């Protein structure tokens, strides 16, 4: 194992310089974006990859492509970053929260089934902390009810189920290149799909509704626009196209993605090994046949004498880098509690105003509500292995001190 990994190296710099050397001439535009999309589609075993400015825009586009509209329902987990639910609201639809599995922390297929109504149009399962969601079971439910599945894999690059890289099974899958993710360009994202119609809809939605773009074509040409009779926009769309410089960095990151992912796996396994003999610390369960890419190592703290803050403070006192907390459940965020939805609370009408659907209060998703304040998230992005080993020793000492 290499002691040191460069997260951003010479290839990223060389590709960025290739973009700068074009001086952003429109005749050279989107060349790097095209290279990235083709390489991403090949690496993840899909027909189409459509790049975006970030991993929230990807979900916005995918939900729109799925035909979700005003008052439709989309099933989401509450235990994840709130952008998953925001994208549903961006489409003037209603996020419906399904509970999670107590051991994997991922959305529960049975809870999904319990949430389905005649207004349900789509499901967005999240592969939380790098662990693939139970996509095969979720797809069975979706097929039974004719629902679209959009897998949110922002935290899961190269996660696998029975050797199959996730992202190719659902109707669409979304990836994020935000700075904390396995591969990054600072910001950015990607939608992948094997469906030509969905890919075309995603592209047009994210590219100002241009008639001249398509599943595998991300930019209109001079030949298109040098015509006074050219009809540019065939539908309403947003400007979510990924910039060339970000595409250049993402392409270079993709080329050594295995190395970046493996370092996180190694770090997580190192940290998990020091917890093995302490029953009150339980890492996220990886089911048989599943492979996590460990965006973070998520651990359930269950000791009535040790609070979350006490553990965090003792770890930092000993020289640890600290511990991240799980996000507050989305429906407990002030925007949901106070219905500050930028007018959508009125636009959507009765479901929000009169409580016809879910009530955002204690007991809505009891398993998620139990887990959230008990989850310890340990960082895994240790590019210096000596630092990872040092932190593991600090963690071991912290656990032993608290276990007295």
Residue 322 in any domain: the answer is: no
What is the domain range of residue 42? Answer: 10-256
Domain total in the chain = 1
Residue 280 in any domain: the answer is: no
Q: Extract the tokens encoding 286.
A: 């990886």
pLDDT digits (tens, 9 = 90+) for 261-275: 999 999 999 999 999
Write down the pLDDT at residue 359.
77
Write down the pLDDT at residue 329.
97
Residue 393 in any domain: the answer is: no
pLDDT exceeds cutoff 80 at 30 = no
| CATH code of the domain covering residue 16 | 3.40.640.10
Query: Percent of the chain, pLDDT > 90?
Result: 81
Residue 285 in any domain: the answer is: no
Give the predicted TM-score (pTM) of the model.
0.94
Write down the pLDDT at residue 351.
47
Active site residues: 181
Residue 356 in any domain: the answer is: no
Residue 311 in any domain: the answer is: no
Average pLDDT, the chain: 93
Residue 161 in any domain: the answer is: yes
pLDDT digits (tens, 9 = 90+) for 109-162: 999 999 999 999 999 999 999 999 999 999 999 999 999 999 999 999 999 999
pLDDT digits (tens, 9 = 90+) for 302-358: 999 999 999 999 999 999 999 999 999 999 999 888 888 877 776 555 444 444 556
| Rounded distance between C-alpha atoms, residue 39 and residue 45, angstroms | 10
Residue 153 in any domain: the answer is: yes
End-to-end CA distance of the chain: 35
């Amino acid at each position: 194992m290499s002691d040191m990994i460069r997260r951003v190296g010479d290839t990223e710099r060389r590709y960025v310089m290739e973009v700068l050397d074009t001086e952003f001439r429109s005749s050279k535009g989107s060349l790097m974006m095209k290279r990235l999309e083709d390489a991403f589609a090949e690496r993840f075993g899909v027909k189409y990859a459509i790049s975006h400015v970030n991993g929230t825009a990807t979900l916005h586009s995918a939900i729109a492509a799925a035909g979700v509209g005003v008052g439709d329902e989309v099933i989401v987990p509450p235990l994840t970053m709130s952008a998953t639910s925001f994208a549903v609201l961006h489409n003037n639809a209603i996020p419906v929260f399904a509970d999670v599995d107590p051991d994997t922390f991922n959305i529960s297929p049975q809870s999904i089934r319990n949430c389905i109504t005649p207004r349900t149009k789509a499901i967005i399962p999240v592969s939380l902390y790098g662990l693939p969601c139970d996509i095969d079971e979720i797809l069975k439910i979706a097929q039974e009810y004719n629902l679209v599945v959009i897998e949110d894999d922002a935290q899961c690059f190269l996660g696998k189920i029975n050797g199959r890289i996730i992202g190719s099974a659902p109707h669409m899958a979304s990836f994020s290149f935000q700075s904390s993710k396995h591969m990054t360009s600072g910001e950015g994202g990607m939608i992948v799909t094997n469906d030509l119609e969905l890919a075309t809809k995603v592209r047009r939605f994210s590219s100002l509704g241009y008639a001249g773009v398509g599943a595998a074509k991300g930019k209109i040409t001079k030949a298109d626009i040098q015509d006074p009779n050219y009809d540019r926009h065939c539908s309403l769309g947003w400007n979510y196209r990924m910039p060339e410089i970000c595409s250049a960095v993402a392409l270079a990151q993709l080329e050594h993605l295995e190395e970046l992912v493996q370092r996180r796996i190694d770090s997580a396994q190192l940290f998990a090994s020091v917890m093995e003999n302490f029953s009150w610390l339980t890492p996220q369960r990886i089911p048989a046949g599943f492979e996590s890419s460990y965006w973070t190592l998520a651990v359930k703290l269950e000791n009535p004498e040790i609070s979350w803050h006490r553990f965090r403070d003792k770890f930092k006192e000993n020289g640890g880098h600290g511990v991240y907390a799980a996000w507050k459940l989305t429906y407990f965020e002030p925007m949901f509690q106070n219905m500050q939805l930028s007018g959508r609370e009125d636009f959507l009408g009765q479901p929000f105003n009169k409580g016809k659907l879910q009530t955002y209060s204690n007991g809505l998703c009891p398993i998620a509500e139990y887990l959230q304040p008990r989850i310890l998230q340990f960082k895994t992005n240790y590019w210096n292995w000596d630092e990872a080993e040092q932190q593991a020793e600090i963690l071991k000492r912290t656990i032993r001190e608290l276990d007295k």
